[in-house]
Amino acid sequence: MEDQPGISARIERARQVEKVLYWVGWLVAAVGVAGMAVFTGFWVAGDLDAEQGVTLVLGTTLATVLSGVTAYGAGVNIGLGAERLRLAAGAAGHQPASSGMTSTAKELGGTPRSGEM
């Protein structure tokens, strides 16, 4: 296993990437909802016929939902990987310095980090 600073750096980087992917997931969903509203407005205003309106609204919905869920799920996966690395490092005798424990780790029976109860 790597040295403690290397493990800690990987865990902290994974936590940063996890947060970014959460935000990307929510941002994509928000853009999708805005796009749906715009296309629905065009449809209601008569600028699009029924087939175009349904295709655009459903296409936008499906594309953004799948993209947002993928980004959000990737963030969850990275967070779980960081938590597994922290637990493996702790079992190997290393105590990486990381900020806070995820709620998933608490549910899995992880031990609180310093200053957390």
The single-letter DSSP state of residue 112 is P
Q: Which of 40-49, 66-75, 85-94 has the lowest mean pLDDT?
A: 85-94
Give tens-digit pLDDT for 10-67. Answer: 888 888 998 998 899 889 888 888 888 888 888 899 888 888 888 888 888 788 878 8
DSSP codes of every residue in 72-113: HHHHHHHHHHHHHHHHHHHHTT-----S---HHHHHTTPPPP
